[in-house]
Amino acid sequence: MNHSKEEILGVPTEPFEIEGIKNTSHILEKMAKTGFQGRQLGRAFEVWKSMIADPECTILMGMSGAMIPAGMRRLVRFMIENRLIDVLVSTGANFFHDIHETKGFYHYQGSSDMDDENLGDHMVDRMYDVLADEVRFREHDLWIGSFAARLDQSRPYTTREFLYLLGKEVGAGADEHGIVSMAAKMNMPLFCPAIGDSSIGIGVAESRHRGENRLMFDMMGDVLEITNLVADSKATGVIYFGGGTPKNYVQQTEVVAILMNKDKTGHRYGVQVVTDAPHWGGLSGCTFEESQSWGKLAKGAEMVNCYCDATIAMPLLVSAMAEQTDLIQTRKAPKFDMGHSLKIHPKT
């Protein structure tokens, strides 16, 4: 489509002015009028607000990377408690690290140039510049295995049901709720499509090896539950911090719904904060525009790709969203039945 020069040069950038800044929302609003990834982060804030304001929208979030060891746990808990999101898909590692902290233990600041052989001698695990006590991790592996052994061994569990029950268990004795326990309290579904690739999977596998459980995960049941959840929503918005399995698991719901003869046309909104580039061809760096060719994002969707470290973007975005008290208080979030099977109730 051809445009005149006047149309092309229609919107000037606005230099960021420090005077008069009121709060985090104001910072992101100003950033949206600049350029590059600062602008994209400001636009991400705008799109997230659109999701919250849309009375038809169910919001699904995918989160990968070691976000809990990096200190993002209370931000995610805030999103769940205040229904800035309605569904969370993440790695078993993030859920495990959250349980570790909910049970009163910590991750620690280190540095990226520490002597890793020395750390190994002391059973200290390193995640870039964050450290953890491997002895405590192994204790929690065993605790998760013992929890799995107490479940009904005669039937499989979706990861959604397993995490709901696990959240109720860990929350019962917690001084402070975390992600998994707060989601259970709020009856909000969590999904973990690669649960075996984590200390949760390790704990369950160790317990099985000792003959304590025969627990089976119903992974296809998870796929059907999250797909039906999307299909039963009038509109959906997606938010991704990082790529990997959580991102595609949410993305594919629209495709699976179409294959199930559901009348779906793609997610209405999309925000992604990633560091992967699209030119390598991997899903983690896939743009929302590319996703439209698959039918994962709707035509005309309100969407933004922001290339930024999620540990920078998440505190800014969630802090700004927390300031939207009117939007949060008036939002009618979907409600869920969280028993053996999942059911979403239409917004009223």
The residues carrying an active-site annotation are 296
Spatial CB neighbours of 20, under 8 Å, sequence gap ≥ 6: 26
- As to burial, measured by CB atoms within 10 angstroms (0-12 exposed, 13-18 middle, 19+ buried), residue 314 is buried
Spatial separation of the C-alpha atoms in residues 276 and 286, rounded to whole Å: 8
Spatial separation of the C-alpha atoms in residues 250 and 61, rounded to whole Å: 8
Strand partners, 342: 338
Strand-pair category, 335-338 with 342-345: antiparallel
Measuring CA to CA, which residue among 36, 37, 84 is closest to residue 63?
84
62: left (phi over 0), alpha (psi -120 to 50) or beta: beta
- As to burial, measured by CB atoms within 10 angstroms (0-12 exposed, 13-18 middle, 19+ buried), residue 188 is buried
Spatial CB neighbours of 233, under 8 Å, sequence gap ≥ 6: 56, 57, 58, 334, 344
Amino acid, res. 73: R
Q: Could you say which DSSP state residue 51 is in?
A: H
Measuring CA to CA, which residue among 28, 37, 166 is closest to residue 102?
166
Measuring CA to CA, which residue among 140, 63, 130, 80 is closest to residue 104?
140
Asked if 336 and 187 touch (Cβ cutoff 8 Å), the reply is yes
